[in-house]
Amino acid sequence: MQLLAWRQSLRWLGPAVFIVAMGVGCRTSTSDVHRWGNTKQGPRKLVAVLTHDKYLIDLRVEAAKTLIEMKPRNGKRVGIVGEEGEPDNRGVINAIASLPADERNEIVGRLVPMLVAEMGKPIPSPQAGQPAPVDTSFPFKDAAFALLTYERERLVQNPADRSLLEQALAAWCVVDFARRVDDPSQLFGVEQVLKYLKADGVRAMPMLLAPEGKKTELIASLIADLGDAKTKLAASQRLVKIAADIASPQWKERKKPAVTAANEASKLKPTPEQFEAQLDQYQEEELLRIFSSMKRVAGVPIVEYLLSFAKDSSRPEKRRAAALAALEGNIVKSTTSDGDAKTLEQIGTVMEIARSDDTPDQVREQALRRVGEMPRKLVVERLFELFRHEKWKIRWMAADLVLSMSDSEQLAEVLTKLSEATKKLAIAEPLQYGFRIGELKGKTKPAALAAQFAAANQPIAARFSGLGYYFHYGTKAELPLVTTFENDTTKVPEAPDCEGNDQGCVWECEVVEGESRSVKEIATLGQFVKFCIEPAMESRKDPPKKNADPRE
């Protein structure tokens, strides 16, 4: 009887026992989640686990992790971004975004430490003869960045969690930067991440700047664009070390094997002199490249190094000029009336380069360009001193620079200083000064200034400069303004020492008569007008465009 009763009880309990047994047998486990990561329908099932509150929170987080680390399909990380035409797989980010706020915050809060840990894992060292190990951190970096930058809603609400992700991303970008920045598999490029992080993203990047380092130009560019003052200073110091290394004889010694190997690969057999020239060219190219990065980052260490380099007369001309060009916009501009000590010291160094007799013209021109970037009041007296220089081209460049920095009310001072400094002028000088008169801004119009200073009561240098205005800007209709000078017998200024190069120096102009051309020596102001100024005016209907420097 007891056995029968037990069997009857079991008959009634049977369906319930079956249901419980089925529930236990179909319960989704962690092993199921991991297995689905490798199946065709896996992404859809994983999204279902992540978004349904019937599953335990730990399993839902594991489903999110599995979606993130899924291998790309057809080159696309479907676990993160979803699949087109598959609404049930919208990817982990959109799936998280679809959750109620309380569920989302709990899942994200558990997901953040896992993302940070995965991004911080060391990259396995490559084994000899084996392929490079796979960097498994990329999808976790992409997921972290996607969570932070989701456009429609703030998915990471906890400030502490956001800070953890941002710090982890910044650290991740620095590790193996040269390889990671070029990896095509990532959803979000390293540069994109750094631009989002701004100063925090590049704070540790100066340590990547080192002799023989990789991606130096890109690193310097990112620091220049995003870094704070402290980061830029650190980068400035490191770039100086790189430049000093490249400019050293030791750098050339280290590069000899590479150049030799390149020659052998190309079946070239240079002579010792040719090989040395190859090394010099290689060194120069690398040095100019680092100068370009230095220009972007700037900073006191870089400015001081470049000034010292440009001042060194033992350096090749092209490299010295490049060093000065890299200083463009980087010399300190003091806002005080007298200029602070650093500004004056730097200006003094540049002026020393500009006035030196043995400075090549290419270097001198760059030096004066840097001077021209300074406030006029800080440099004009130093430039006036160059008006007395024995080399006419130095005076020419200095006076031209002063005029380019002046306005119409300051023209008289400049021309007076010029007249007091020298009685000698090359023909190119007043022509160039006339061009600058045409560009002057101020209350008095350039044409009125030209007429004023061409008058007979003005010093010789001023008269010829005033007439030089018409050479560039005078039109055929304005010929009556200058023909009155044709009979002026005032002698032209004495030509300076042309140093074997008469072009632009001696007083002569090309004269066209019919189809023949001849060079006419100019002895008087009247001849200057008749043979140099009037032909230019007769052929011109409209004045030239502003800022079209005739020297260039």
Mean pLDDT computed over 136-161: 96
Q: 76 forms bridges with which residues in the sheet? A: 73
pTM (2 decimals)? 0.84
Mean pLDDT computed over 386-398: 92
pLDDT value of position 511 = 87
Instruction: Report the chain's mean pLDDT, rounded to a whole number.
Output: 90
Residues 439/408, Cβ–Cβ less than 8 Å: no
Rounded Cα distance, 220 and 206, in Å: 8
Ordered alpha helix ranges (H), 53-158: 57-69, 78-81, 91-97, 101-119, 138-149
pLDDT value of position 19 = 35
Rounded Cα distance, 164 and 170, in Å: 10
pLDDT value of position 517 = 86
* pLDDT exceeds cutoff 50 at 15: no
Q: 517 forms bridges with which residues in the sheet? A: 512
List, for residues 176-214, the tens digit of each pLDDT value: 999 999 999 999 999 999 999 999 999 999 999 999 999
Rounded Cα distance, 317 and 331, in Å: 21
- Please name which of 457, 509, 512, 517 lies closest in space to residue 488, comparing C-alpha atoms: 457
376: phi then psi, degrees, rounded to nearest 5: -55, -40
Rounded Cα distance, 389 and 383, in Å: 10
Task: Tell me, letter by letter, the H, E, C secondary structure of 502-537.
Answer: CCCCCCEEEEEECCEEEEEECCEHHHHHHHHHHHHH
List, for residues 209-249, the tens digit of each pLDDT value: 999 999 999 999 999 999 999 999 999 999 999 999 999 99
pLDDT value of position 544 = 62
* pLDDT exceeds cutoff 50 at 92: yes
Mean pLDDT computed over 413-421: 96
* pLDDT exceeds cutoff 70 at 411: yes
- Please name which of 456, 453, 452, 467 lies closest in space to residue 534, comparing C-alpha atoms: 467
List, for residues 98-137, the tens digit of each pLDDT value: 999 999 999 999 999 999 999 999 988 877 777 778 899 9
* pLDDT exceeds cutoff 80 at 384: yes
CA distances from 494 to 165, 275, 390, 392, 517 (A): 75, 49, 13, 12, 25
CB neighbours of residue 486 within 10 Å: 16
344: phi then psi, degrees, rounded to nearest 5: -65, -35
CA distances from 544 to 25, 76, 118, 249, 431 (A): 91, 58, 65, 50, 14
pLDDT value of position 87 = 82
Mean pLDDT computed over 68-93: 89
Rounded Cα distance, 66 and 46, in Å: 8
How many CA atoms lie less than 13 Å away from 221 in the CB half-sphere?
8
Percent of the chain with pLDDT over 70: 92
* pLDDT exceeds cutoff 50 at 24: no
User: Sorting pLDDT into bands at 50, 70 and 90, what band is 543?
Assistant: low
What is the residue type of 31? Answer: S
* pLDDT exceeds cutoff 70 at 338: no
In terms of phi and psi (left: phi > 0; alpha: psi -120 to 50; beta: otherwise), the region of 27 is beta
